[in-house]
Amino acid sequence: MRALVFHRPWEMAVEDRPEPEPGPSDCLLEIIATGICGSDLHGYTGENGRRHPGQVMGHETVARVLDDRTGTHVTGGIVTVNPVIGCGHCPACAAGAAQRCPDRKVIGVRADISSAFAERMVAPTHNVVPLPAGTPADVGSLVEPLAVGHHAVQRADLTGDDTVLVVGGGPIGQAAALAARRLGGTTVVVAELDAVRSDLLTRLGFDTADPATQSTDEIMAVLGGRASVVVDAVGTSRTLQTALDTSALGARIVLVGMAVPRVEISAYAVSTEERTILGSFSYDEAGFRETAEWASAHAAELEPLVDARVDLAEAPETFRSLANGELRASKVLVYPSGSPVTGADA
């Protein structure tokens, strides 16, 4: 089969790879489309060190079942994949929270798992989630990032009385904003520097602020006061400081962005004003499945999230163009068997 192989930072190529062989608890999947995640780009450039030579990446995927060795899923059924694989035995896995399993593996991150930037892949049947009939392929590939945003907002125990600021309007910030609205937030503002992303957020129905040109007071004016919940979807010292500067006493700040491995934090702004900083990583199993159902039912609302579609042969150049800023797209889908619209149609 053909697969997109990472060789070293800034170098990928489409190559022939051995056909994946499912085990007794696995599904063999034919990939329909896979989204390029920000973490994939950071791996491609070598920024995060979490991608390795010879690896086939990709975890935001929608696929067709070719063979389910357990008989759970119907052959030909359209599915998405929860990429977080737990041990299946620890208390976290028993609670459906594999993201907290100390021995978890993540499809698309682990170098020894051939993942979704390929014509076919194998996934544990337990991680394969069927999509309702008629779900567009684009929407199926968005379930994973949407679930990340949903889980981040859930971590804050959002109520209808909360004022929400999302810092960063990329795909995860967009997902967090959509989740905040989905979970009852009435005031949701996104702080974003990029004009293209701000325009997309406006089309999605959100007010935006620009931290590069607007002061803290001006951002709070857009919010109508200080935020009681902030989701940092970037994850740098600067964005975390923005979260502290714009949030109320006692606010909950959720750190879901992972732009850098270490951040500096103003300890007094946390302790003396009793803010809570919450970490958020991926999602639990129930949240992923609920998001799949929600996304299918809101397909029309989610259409603007996809900027471009490319086939596998175009993927190496697309990665390069995204990483160096030539292609200003928020979400690009790779279709291994040929994109429905050829080329980057942003």
Which tokens go with 217? 């007071």
pLDDT digit string, tens, across residues 165-214: 999 999 999 999 999 999 999 899 999 999 999 999 999 999 999 999 99
The secondary structure element, H or E, covering residue 288 is helix 285-297
Strands of 87-198 (E only): list them: 105-106, 120-124, 128-130, 163-167, 187-191
Q: What is the pTM of this model?
A: 0.94
pLDDT at 50 over 80: no
pLDDT tier at 47, thresholds 50, 70, 90 = confident
Cβ(326)–Cβ(194) under 8 Å?
no
Q: Check whether 345 has a pLDDT greater than 60.
A: no
Could you give the domains of the chain? 2-130+307-335 (3.90.180.10), 147-279 (3.40.50.720)
Query: How far apart are the two ends of the chain, measured CA to CA in Å?
Result: 28
The answer to whether 255 and 240 have CB atoms below 8 angstroms apart is yes
Candidate from 106-115, 151-160, 162-171, 257-266 with smallest mean pLDDT: 257-266
